Amino acid sequence: MKSIKEFNTKGMMLSDRYKLLEEVIPVPIGEIVYKSDCFDWTEAVEVTKENQDEVTMFWNSIYFDDKDKADRETMAAHADYFSEVFKPFF
């Protein structure tokens, strides 16, 4: 099995993400990762048994091991959102 950290799940279909859970070593419980967010700011999250599958399924698309990468994704999401919201005004 390969480590999930070798993968980028951005753009993957949800069905492929579920298959990936069976093919990779998940993000380890207890690890601190960074979650990007469309409507909030990047936050540090501890991987738990309850969120381990979610973190693994969305690795390098929502969850990152590098805060700078998560911040860039958050800022891109904010820019996309605001450009759509204010599009009618331009």
**Do residues 44 and 19 touch, judged by C-beta distance below 8 A?**
no
What's the CA gap between 48 and 60, in Å, rounded?
Answer: 18
Residues of the chain with pLDDT under 70: 38-39, 78, 80-90
Domains of the chain: which residue ranges?
A: 2-89
pTM: 0.77
Alpha helices in 1-90, H assignment, sequence order: 14-23, 52-57, 67-85
pLDDT in tens, 18-39: 888 888 999 999 999 999 876 6
Rounded distance between C-alpha atoms, residue 54 and residue 51, angstroms? 5
